[in-house]
Structure 1
Amino acid sequence: MAPLENPNLEGYHVARAMWLEYYNPKAGTYIAKQKCSGCYNDDKFVVWAVSVADQAIVDAARIYPEFKPLIQPAIAVFQKYKNKHIKGYSAAENSGNDKDIYYDDDAQVCSAMLTAYEVTGDKTYLDQGRELVRFLMGGWNDNPKAVTKGGMHWHISKNLLNSCTTAEVAKACLQISKFIPNEAQVYVEFAAKCIDWQIKVLQDPSDKLIRDGVGEDSDKVDDAKWSYNTGTTLSAASHLYQITKDNKWLNIANELAEAAINHNSFFYDRDFPDNLRYWRDSSYFVQLLIEGLADYLLYVGKDVPQGLPQRIHDEVRRHLIMFYEFMKDPKDGGYIQSFEPHNTYKHVYDQKYHEWFGDGKQWSLKGEDKDSNGNPQKCLMGYGSAARVFFQGARIVPKI
């Protein structure tokens, strides 16, 4: 396998392979040839997987114009998941009435729509995104009896308040604020309210990472610190700084960026010496961490502290190479969802793991990356996330 040289080109190959493997023009949606991770029933994918796949197609189209004709069919898939009455998108395809709706999923749907508008200029996508942003804003917790005040709900019928929903909805609001100037203040103020809550309630003051969530009927915070929660909050705080120039957001963004590349952080595998530690979350989380770091460098720009851009560059570069070397199947170029070098294809592990990591960890496969017989199995989410790892990573590391 040739070494990784151009992350954008690798993203191109993965996105193209994903489309050819999963998009079914007759059905007008993504179809699995056999049941895999992210499927419900036997062959349909949950809307979260569809949103990541669509984001990958739009990312590809931004760089490679030949992907532009795929945007319309890709974004059209979402309509199969829409609740026509409350305007949210359900986890599964439905007749228009299903209420199994998650605000974080829908925020990623919204991001795909708004980015499609950025890339094409087609106002259809802006209109869809605006309607969805308005729905998302309705997920704010304003229950006067709640123990935990504020924050975005995770699901329309549950009282859990999550960092992923709160930051991703803030991101969507900031994204659309650029396109509708006469409504921009409403969106920016809502995003600021979200990130204020996120920092006050869910940031761990000791390491600056973002914790997972809290119930509105409780003040006991879930201490899990997934990489994407820090990444999406970093995206939003950085964008808020670009818009407002308020140093409050700059300070928050700087702390989050430092935390994201600190080898002692929760989401690094700390079973290794410092120089070998890596992000251990699955690729569908890591892609949003990398996007957060890229957004930070873009939105904060010249105000990023001296030396930090190079450190971020080097950390992302190291991870892109590792992901390419270990999670790519040399047989067909596809990627599973794991980001951990020992949780990979057996032949890849046998060929190179010990050279890179010594006797670090025994080979295994995560449950989400294997079929019922224990063999490696790829899925729509794995392809979409891998493409986005490379496209977002290329914003920081255009060439290896």
Structure 2
Amino acid sequence: MNRMKNLIIVLVSLLWLMTCACGENGPDKGFQEPPPQEERLAERNLTRAIELADNTINAHFTGSGMAMARYYNPYTGARSDEKGSVWMYTSAIEAVNAILHALQAEKVADDASLYNKHYTRFVEVLDNLYDNADYYLGTFSLTSYTQTKEWTVYGVNRGASKGGAKVEGIENVYDDQMWLVRELMESYKLTGKETYLEKAEYLTEYVLDGWDCTIDANGNEVGGITWGPGYVTKHACSNGPMVSPLVWLHELYKEKNDEVIHRFIDAGDMKTRKTVSLKKSDYYLAFAKKIYEWQKEALLRGDGVYDDMMGGCTPGAPQLETIDGVTYRKGITCRDKVGPAISYNSGTMLSGAADLYRATADEKYLSDGKKLSDASFAFFAKKGTNLPDYYTYNISGFNNWFNGVLMRGYVDLFPANKNVSTYIATFQQNLDYGYDHFLYKGFLPTNLLVGWSQNNSNNRIEGMFSFAFAAEYAVLSRYELTK
């Protein structure tokens, strides 16, 4: 009997030891410690970005001229006859740039496998996109606040031939040029191709020619850039997006002596047009600050986010005036702050604040960024609307793309304000939910948390939304590797 009791005690002891061992060392069944989460997530994000971008390019672009269909339905295979605007087309460039940045980050992190497989081909895609963006180019003569000059810029709509697009009046808008400046600068940083920098600076000159430099009663510039040369309203979208590229240009020329001609109006007599040669680095930074401050003063709301535009403008349409025998555009005063608040208008100012803080070390920009990040998340992210513990962002209209700009603003601010990581995580969560539950033939639905319509004919998607999702995944990949 004692032997039996001793045997039972031994067996129980062995069982207890085995249980403890399992508890300490993890589950059985050949379990191995996974690689670091940030590395695995970064690679997965980038792989998904590439998948989404490749499928969207193949579905939306046709012919050697890369004409972009605005819509594609993965359930029916139908491609819309309607072509995407230059803004929508630029979303493809944005996605490719984001992927190239992430590929470079992967390589720096000592994993060159994806870089070696994809980098060269995406550089070629980038070249083709810029080459065929020329279908949106056109030339016209513009009388601005300081001069009359012929410009070759990007029209809203695609033309029948390269350089043949309509661009006069409301046929071109300044924000379209700004998004292209941003992407051209990104492409230059990625590839070092001087043509990208030259185009970026040319379009920058055009955009800044739209700054209202007429003088108010206090001897200050009226300020602000209208939506386009054919408009009088001054929008957040035609000001905020330019801040970051101007900071980048400042940083590029900071150690150089290159100069640029600055055109302005004499504050004394309020009419004489003058020019002065300035160092590019100083000129670009000064304009970045001016645009940032104008938008902050004119459009920041009491709840801490940005309104859409300044309306109630005088004159009510573009007008010219003659001064000393020379014709100029008449200055514009706007009295009404007009909504609604849209996520990208806060996103561009987040990026602008982050870039200005990095370039100047001025704490006011960091303070602005912190306040805006908290206010924008509180305003635009709604917990539990579609799913418990998930944050829903408005996806009506073009908000899917707008929200990507907001996410990028958080990512840009992260190096100086780690608290935004929780905001960034909501975008990762939503993308992954949409991908894991609703990916269909390589496409994500417009609503990542709800999915596709039961009526297949209602499942057409905007090309720019698919590119936005690809860009977000790529930005998140780089973020995971560099945070």
CA contact (8 A) 2:156 2:173 kept: yes
Give the one of 48, 52, 56 matched to 2:95: 56
Offset of residue 138 of structure 1: 1.5
Show the counterpart of 2:375. 259
* Alignment correspondent of 1:294: 411
Q: Is the deviation greater in 89-98 or in 181-190?
A: 89-98
Counterpart residue type for residue 199 of structure 1: K
Q: Deviations over 1:122-169 (max 9, x none)?
A: 1011111110111111221235589x9321211221111111211112
Structure 2 residue ranges without an equivalent (≥5)? 1-39, 75-79, 104-114, 141-150, 259-279, 315-333
**Could you tell me how far apart the structure 2 residues matched to 1:276 and 1:42 are?**
36
Instruction: Give the secondary structure class of the aligned counterpart of 1:256.
Output: helix
State the partner residue of 2:290.
193
Residue type matched to 1:193 in 2?
K
Of 20, 27, 31 in structure 1, the residue corresponding to residue 65 of structure 2 is 27
| 1:117 correspondence with 2:188 | yes
Q: What residue number does 1:361 align with?
A: none
Change in CA separation of 1:145 and 1:101 when aligned onto 2, cut-off 3 Å: farther
Q: Is 1:244 aligned to 2:360, yes or no?
A: yes
Aligned equivalent of 1:351: none
- 1:82 is matched by which residue type in structure 2? L
2-side partners of 1:292 and 1:134: how far apart? Answer: 25
Shift of 1:61: 2.1
The two structures have a TM-score, normalised by structure 2, of 0.67
Other-structure match for 2:139: 84
Tell me how far 1:81 sits from its aligned partner: 1.0
Change (3 A) 1:231 1:73: same
Aligned-partner residue type, residue 157 of structure 2: A
Q: Over residues 194-224 of structure 1, what are the superposed CA-to-partner deviations in whole Å (9 max), with x where a residue is unaligned?
A: 11011111111x3211111112433221131
Deviation of the 1:320 alpha carbon: 1.9
Superimposed CA distance per residue, residues 312-341 of structure 1 (whole angstroms, 9 cap, x where no aligned partner): 2233223222233237742212124445x2
- SS of 2:458's equivalent? coil
**Counterpart Cα distance in 2 of 1:79 and 1:24:** 16
Aligned position for 2:230? 157
Distance in 2 between the 1:396 and 1:162 partners?
A: 30
Q: Deviations over 1:19-44 (max 9, x none)?
A: 222233422443468699xxxx9242
Structure 2 residue aligned with 1:207: 303
Equivalenced residues, count: 353
Q: Percent identity of the aligned residues?
A: 18
1:332 aligned onto 2:441: yes
Match of 2:127 among 53, 60, 72: 72
Q: CA RMSD in A?
A: 2.9
Partner letter of residue 268 of structure 1? A
Task: Give the letter aligned to residue 345 of structure 1.
Answer: W
AA aligned to 1:135 is Y
Q: Secondary structure at the match of 1:221?
A: strand
Identify the residue that residue 127 of structure 1 maps to in structure 2: 198
Q: 1:149 to 1:33 in 2, by over 3 A?
A: closer
Output the CA distance in 2 between the equivalents of 1:69 and 1:200: 42
Task: Describe the superposition over 1:154-189 as per-residue Cα deviations: whole angstroms up to 9, x where unpaired.
Answer: 122111111121111222222222333431211111
Following the alignment from structure 2 to structure 1, what is the Cα–Cα distance between the partners of residues 222 and 191? 39
What residue identity is the alignment partner of 1:16?
A: D
Match of 1:345 in 2: 452
Distance 1:274 1:333, change over 3 A: closer
User: Does 2:332 correspond to 1:219?
Assistant: no
Query: Which of 355, 378, 381 pairs up with 1:268?
Result: 381
User: What amino acid is aligned across from residue 394 of structure 1 in structure 2?
Assistant: S
CA distance in 1, matches of 2:441, 2:425: 23
Q: CA deviation at 1:12?
A: 1.3
Cross-structure match for 2:213: 142
Answer whether contact 2:241 2:348 (CA < 8 A) is retained.
yes
Aligned equivalent of 1:366: none
- Residue of structure 2 equivalent to 1:42: 81
Aligned match of 1:359: none
Which one is further off, 116-125 or 213-222?
Answer: 213-222
Give the Cα–Cα distance (whole angstroms) in 2 for the partners of residues 145 and 42 of structure 1: 48
Paired position in structure 1 for 2:10: none
**Cα distance, 1:278 vs structure 2:** 2.7
Cα deviation for residue 261 of structure 1 reads 2.7
Structure 1 residue 386 displacement after superposition: 0.8
Aligned 8 A contact 1:164 1:212 in 2: yes
Does the 8 A contact of 2:60 with 2:72 survive in 1?
no
C-alpha contact 1:208 1:259 (8 A) present in aligned 2: yes
User: Is the 2:60–2:69 contact (alpha carbons within 8 Å) kept by the matching residues of 1?
Assistant: yes
- Please tell me whether the aligned partners of residues 269 and 277 of structure 1 are also in contact (alpha carbons under 8 angstroms): yes
Q: Which amino acid aligns with 1:259?
A: A
Q: Rg larger in 1 or in 2?
A: 2
